[in-house]
Amino acid sequence: NRTVNAGRIGGDGDLDNSLRPRSLGEFIGQPRVCEQLDLVLQAARGRGGTPDHILLSGPPGLGKTSLAMIIAGEMGAALRVTSGPALERAGDLAAMLSNLVEGDVLFIDEIHRIARPAEEMLYLAMEDFRVDVVVGKGPGATSIPLDVAPFTLVGATTRSGALTGPLRDRFGFTAHMEFYDTGELERVLTRSAGILGITMQPDAGAEIASRSRGTPRIANRLLRRVRDYAEVRADGIVTLPIARAALSVYDVDELGFDRLDRAVLAALVRGFGGGPVGVSTLAVAVGEEPATVEEVCEPFLVRAGMIARTPRGRVATAAAWHHLGLTPPAGALN
């Protein structure tokens, strides 16, 4: 189940915690983000203050939650966790904010899904460390100002474009997380194999890395599935042939596309002649939520050079036609 917030609670999500990097030094990849963040945090520590509010943006599974935990850790602060969809009413947020202690890091995952009234309360809290709580209804309603302890908001979003301007403007630093390259994912896998006590040969690590959709969470998930296969069908050692055999059982192809990626590509090419077609139409065609197609599938298919975004909609590139074993029409994008 690959919904936008998949893997957060329970199941593999819990295991994820043992694999999370604990410090910036342990965090693999994203060198620019790490350098920028390190400066922000060191400067704040030097001044003895709280760092500016930080926005982390990028597709799921790239390490936003891990970075939020690292930020709190590096500041010696407590991390409070909530999410946009959980903050339906302004009162939910007011309760959260009024419990903060000076220096706390408040992590709001999927911050683009926060409800309007809570968002407006958040503006004031971010800017002035104050909230106005409205008590009562109608003409008798009064607004009670409350102080909030100075805190750092860390927001995570898979769609920074969906954030309103005023909210985006209140972050002092935005980190754009990129997909990981294969070498970085190999390092993630080697580290995870060490933590989980898995014997993995280097060429097997490289193979799993190249099929992980540029995403550490997926790399770790595939590693566990390959381990299952190695334990059940062999002697537990993850070799290249074992990795290949396991990945084919789990329907991960050579480019790392999974079932949904392939369904989207096939719909675009076979169903819509290569486009252009809108993302919600594509989502209906494959029976998925538009948000999942737009925030999970599409970014990777774009990065893999299979889909191009045009003002008129999504278009399949020549590579997409070839990937499906078809001849691209004359004039297909390269």
Helix (H/G/I), strand (E/B), else coil: 136? coil
Q: Please report whether residue 20 would count as binding ligand ADP according to CB under 6 A.
A: yes
> What part of residues 24-53 is at the interface with ligand ADP (CB under 6 A)?
27-29
CA distance 53 to 50: 9
Does the annotation count 65 as an active-site position?
yes
Does the annotation count 92 as an active-site position?
no
Nearest to 122 by CA among 106, 135, 136: 106
- How many chain residues touch ligand ADP (CB under 6 A)? 19
Q: Please report whether residue 220 would count as binding ligand ADP according to CB under 6 A.
A: yes
For ligand ADP, give the closer residue by CB, 212 or 317.
212
> What part of residues 46-85 is at the interface with ligand ADP (CB under 6 A)?
60-66
Q: State the CB neighbour count (10 A cutoff) for residue 258.
A: 17
Minimal distance, residue 331 CB to ligand ADP, in Å: 37
Helix (H/G/I), strand (E/B), else coil: 123? helix
Tell whether residue 224 is among the known ligand binding residues.
no
Tell whether residue 212 is among the known ligand binding residues.
no
Would you say the C-alpha torsion 108, 109, 115, 119 has a positive or negative sign? positive
Would you say the C-alpha torsion 229, 182, 261, 158 has a positive or negative sign? positive
Tell whether residue 300 is among the known ligand binding residues.
no
Does the annotation count 137 as an active-site position?
no
**Structure letter (DSSP) for residue 57:** E
Minimal distance, residue 29 CB to ligand ADP, in Å: 5
Does the annotation count 310 as an active-site position?
no
Does the annotation count 217 as an active-site position?
yes
**Structure letter (DSSP) for residue 64:** H
For ligand ADP, give the closer residue by CB, 98 or 210.
210
Burial of 313 (0-12, 13-18, 19+ CB in 10 A): middle
The amino acid present at 212, given as its one-letter code, is: S
Q: Please report whether residue 217 would count as binding ligand ADP according to CB under 6 A.
A: yes
For ligand ADP, give the closer residue by CB, 77 or 175.
175
Tell whether residue 247 is among the known ligand binding residues.
no
Place of tokens 């030097």: 46
What does the per-residue mask of binding to ligand ADP show for 140-159, with x meaning CB under 6 A?
----------------x---
**What positions carry a catalytic annotation?**
64-65, 109, 158, 217
The binding site for DNA comprises 309, 314
